[in-house]
Amino acid sequence: MSGQGLGDFLRGYEAAHPDDVCTVERPVSLDQDITAAVWELADRGRHPLLRFTRVEGADREVVTNLFASRPRIERVLDAEPGELHNAYQRRAAAARPMAEVDDGPVLGRIDAGDRVDLSGLPLLTHFATDRGPYITSGIVVAEDAEGGRGNLSYHRSVVASPTSLGTSLHSRGDLWRLLQDAAAAGRRLPVAMVIGAHPLFMLAASARVGFGVDEREIAGGLLGEPLEVVRTPRHGLRVPAAAEVVLEGEIDPAAEEDEGPFGEFSGYSSDRSTRNRIDVCTIMQRRDAVWLDVVGGNSHEHLNLGRVPREAEMIAKLKDRFGSVTAAHYPSSGTHFHCYVAVDQRRPGEARQALLGLLGWDPYLKTVVAVDADVDVTSDAEVLWALATHFQPDRDMIVIDGLPGSALDPSADKQGTTSRLALDATRGEGFDAQRIEISDAARTVGRQIADRVV
């Protein structure tokens, strides 16, 4: 077994970057304490990987905040600083077939039948507004009944009983399509939920790819070697052999389960849900399993995990189609609904082309802003300055309505129908104002003075 487990990653990462890992040894509760620690650290500008060793009511260590830092994700991908998206695209493009093995750590303990009891897992309540304890890192694995092509996707899940979960497929992506196919055939859909895996497997699960593209093969590309998988005991679904915990079960298309509210990426508590139920028949886990949590709400971790693959895809498409695009950024302030794009505009209208391309390619985006190439798109302050000084609403704004968006947008209707806004904050033709400058010599003096100021 190669080093494809979460534990393998944690040991290597902490040895290489001990200053970026914080082990909390004081007792904490499963009820909001861990979320509160993440929020307090973020308010102070800190986003360490967190390991909680004494969690009341838990029989194992809880790990969280893994994806809260972009520099950490760069290290996961062995990328140079600033090369996150290029590294992701390069590795993801080198997809590899899975390698099926007969045994693996996730088969260390198997509970089935009467021994299945979800209440024995260290389930966290993240917010006071949540319905209850949620699984936030669960990656649902499903396979096409005909060819066995797989699909990975994240779905929030609340424990409804010792053997069942309430979950939501509100994104209505490929898992929803597979469930509708199962319903048409009059059968239940076998699924497996992976809780805790190598972070590169988790990034692959966030990839937005066409139906029939197996994200497990993308995981192999990100890992640089085939993903090693074992089959689940009842349904034979292929899951990472080195996973921490896997729940095997079925979704009955006709069954409903109350689910929500839950603190979503919008920063609001959402009860918009498809109210699906997963009946769990098997719990597989390592003998030394840790519990991996993904911080919910509009946390840095939640947003980064969802948007890094999207950003990489969008930036590659923009630069390929529009040669004047120099950079793009999805700001945390906009959750998943805003994007800034920098354009070195050579002819009128190029910025608008890029804006319309973004709105057409990414259904989550509601507002996109184009700025000149000398504006830092990673800075909200600089983008807002460009809007304040370059933008005129009567000529630089495009509104398109009646488009499908995210059902979790609290301002959209329950189906997620939304309007979209493009703002051209480039200087454009005829702009004759001169940006203020300070000479290099004066900058040197200024730095010398600032270095001495206490």
Domains of the chain (ranges, CATH numbers)? 69-294 (2.30.110.10), 322-424 (3.40.1670.10)
pLDDT band at 409 (very low <50, low <70, confident <90, very high): confident
- Tokens matching residue 87: 């590294």
> pLDDT tens-digit profile of 21-60?
999 999 999 999 999 999 999 999 999 999 999 999 999 9
SS3 of residue 110 by DSSP:
strand
What's the rounded Cα separation, in Å, for the pair 188 and 293? 28
The answer to whether residues 39 and 17 touch, using CB atoms and an 8 Å cutoff, is no
pLDDT band at 10 (very low <50, low <70, confident <90, very high): very high
H helices of 206-241, where?
A: 215-223
The answer to whether residues 340 and 314 touch, using CB atoms and an 8 Å cutoff, is no
Question: How is residue 70 annotated by DSSP?
Answer: H
- Tokens matching residue 293: 């949590």
What is the model's pLDDT at position 126?
95
What's the rounded Cα separation, in Å, for the pair 171 and 439? 51
What's the rounded Cα separation, in Å, for the pair 222 and 220? 5
The answer to whether residues 293 and 35 touch, using CB atoms and an 8 Å cutoff, is no
Q: Residue 261: is the preceding peptide bond cis (ω within 30°)?
A: yes
Confidence check: pLDDT of 1 > 60: no
The answer to whether residues 47 and 68 touch, using CB atoms and an 8 Å cutoff, is yes
Percent of the chain with pLDDT over 90: 81
How many CB atoms within 10 Å of residue 144? 16
Pairing of β 134-135 and β 157-161 = antiparallel
pLDDT band at 159 (very low <50, low <70, confident <90, very high): very high
More confident residue, 421 or 310: 421
The answer to whether residues 228 and 101 touch, using CB atoms and an 8 Å cutoff, is yes
> pLDDT tens-digit profile of 313-349?
888 999 999 999 999 999 999 888 999 999 999 899 9
Task: Give the number of C-alpha atoms closer than 13 A to the C-alpha of residue 346, restricted to the C-beta side.
Answer: 5
Confidence check: pLDDT of 420 > 70: yes
> For 397-429, what is the HEC assignment?
EEEEEEEECCCCCCCCCCCCEEEEEEEECCCCC
The answer to whether residues 370 and 352 touch, using CB atoms and an 8 Å cutoff, is yes
Confidence check: pLDDT of 260 > 90: no
Percent of the chain with pLDDT over 70: 99
The answer to whether residues 337 and 406 touch, using CB atoms and an 8 Å cutoff, is yes
- Tokens matching residue 242: 């080195």
The answer to whether residues 245 and 137 touch, using CB atoms and an 8 Å cutoff, is no
pLDDT band at 209 (very low <50, low <70, confident <90, very high): confident
Strand ranges, E, within 232-297:
238-240, 245-251, 262-263, 269-270, 276-285, 291-292
What's the rounded Cα separation, in Å, for the pair 291 and 59? 9
Task: Give the number of C-alpha atoms closer than 13 A to the C-alpha of residue 299, restricted to the C-beta side.
Answer: 30
What global pTM score does this model have?
Answer: 0.90
What is the model's pLDDT at position 2?
55
What is the model's pLDDT at position 43?
94
What's the rounded Cα separation, in Å, for the pair 156 and 195? 11
What's the rounded Cα separation, in Å, for the pair 374 and 390? 13
What's the rounded Cα separation, in Å, for the pair 209 and 192? 20
> pLDDT tens-digit profile of 103-147?
999 999 999 999 999 999 999 999 999 999 999 999 999 999 887
In degrees and rounded to multiples of 5, residue 54 shows phi and psi of: -130, 85
Burial 231-247 (b: 16+ CB within 10 A, else e): bbeebebbbbbbbbbbb
The answer to whether residues 343 and 372 touch, using CB atoms and an 8 Å cutoff, is yes
> pLDDT tens-digit profile of 54-103?
999 999 999 999 999 999 999 999 999 989 999 999 999 999 999 999 99
Pairing of β 367-372 and β 417-424 = parallel
> pLDDT tens-digit profile of 261-298?
988 888 888 888 889 999 999 999 999 999 999 999 98
What's the rounded Cα separation, in Å, for the pair 127 and 111? 30
What's the rounded Cα separation, in Å, for the pair 339 and 369? 6
> pLDDT tens-digit profile of 161-173?
999 999 999 777 8
The answer to whether residues 344 and 331 touch, using CB atoms and an 8 Å cutoff, is no
Mean pLDDT of the chain: 93
Element (H, E) at 42: helix 33-43
